[in-house]
Structure 1
Amino acid sequence: MALSSSSVLSGGALDLIAAWFRALSEPSRLRIIRALESGDKNINELADATGLTQGNVSRHVQSLADAGIVGRRREGISTVCYIADNTIVDLCENVCTSIQQRLTAKAQRLTDPN
């Protein structure tokens, strides 16, 4: 959803947006999203990829699913997770690029203060 500077959002819409960003406020959830960028994974695979316990992965996946960022499906006895909203991949890429540029600029200022 593209927003112009004159867009007015209802309180309910702002609540949904805030919930979406709250779901991203936990570093472990960002690790899970990063792991899912390469493809669907079950809970065990996510635990291996992130270094989290299966219980923690399940809890964080629930939060991401509640926000509509991650989806889940049953395959036999496994729960397979996938990125349900590809907007998140672009958002994370943009944020990472911005932070990298700021860190690079800061490092340059420290090494060359002129």
Structure 2
Amino acid sequence: MKNLPPEALQQVASYFHVLAEPNRLRILNFLRQGERNVGELAQLCSCTAANISRHLLLMTQQGLVAREGRGTSVYYRIADPSVYALCDLVCDSIARQFERTSEHRQALLSRTGVSS
């Protein structure tokens, strides 16, 4: 982020904003397994097709996914695979934090003689 102009920082913030929604992260996970159409993603996410389409529009605008029309269907795939490296880095960090918190909680419980 060093020396980025304000316009670029706004783009970075928009990118992270798109990633800040759990259903979009779920969509990214499903697309990690291969391309899918809106109907398939809606079924997998237990959402309406309209809801999935709105999420995919935002993700397409940020360059995370690409779309390709085939007949009457549109298929989506990951356009920027580096998003997975970013998500994996964040998820690993959160998992470590969760583990430390859990260990800390266990230590406190054992000191007070309470079992979990």
Please report how far the alpha carbon of residue 75 of structure 1 lies from its aligned counterpart in structure 2 after TM superposition. Answer: 0.9
Out of 17, 22, 28, the position equivalent to 2:17 is: 22
**Number of residues of Structure 1 aligned to a counterpart in Structure 2:** 109
CA shift at 1:26, angstroms? 1.2
TM-score, structure 1 normalization: 0.90
What is residue 69 of structure 1 aligned with on the other side? Answer: 64
- Equivalent of 2:44, from 22, 41, 49? 49
**Structure 1 spans left out of the alignment, 5+ residues:** none
| Cα separation, 2, equivalents of 1:52 and 1:91 | 25
SS at match of 1:112: helix
Q: Which has the larger radius of gyration?
A: 2
Pairwise CA RMSD: 1.2
Matching residue's letter, 1:87: S
Residue deviations 1:23-77 (CA, integer Å, cap 9, x gap): 1111111111111111111111111221111110001000111111111110111
Secondary structure in 1 matching 2:68: strand
Match of 1:12 in 2: 7
Q: Distance in 2 between matches of 1:105 and 1:72?
A: 40
Which residue of structure 1 lines up, in the alignment, with residue 35 of structure 2? 40
Residue type at the aligned position of 1:66 = Q
Q: Is 1:94–2:75 an aligned residue pair?
A: no
- Aligned-pair CA distance for 1:112: 1.3
Scaled by the length of structure 2, the TM-score of the pair is 0.89
Unaligned runs of 5+ in 2: 112-116
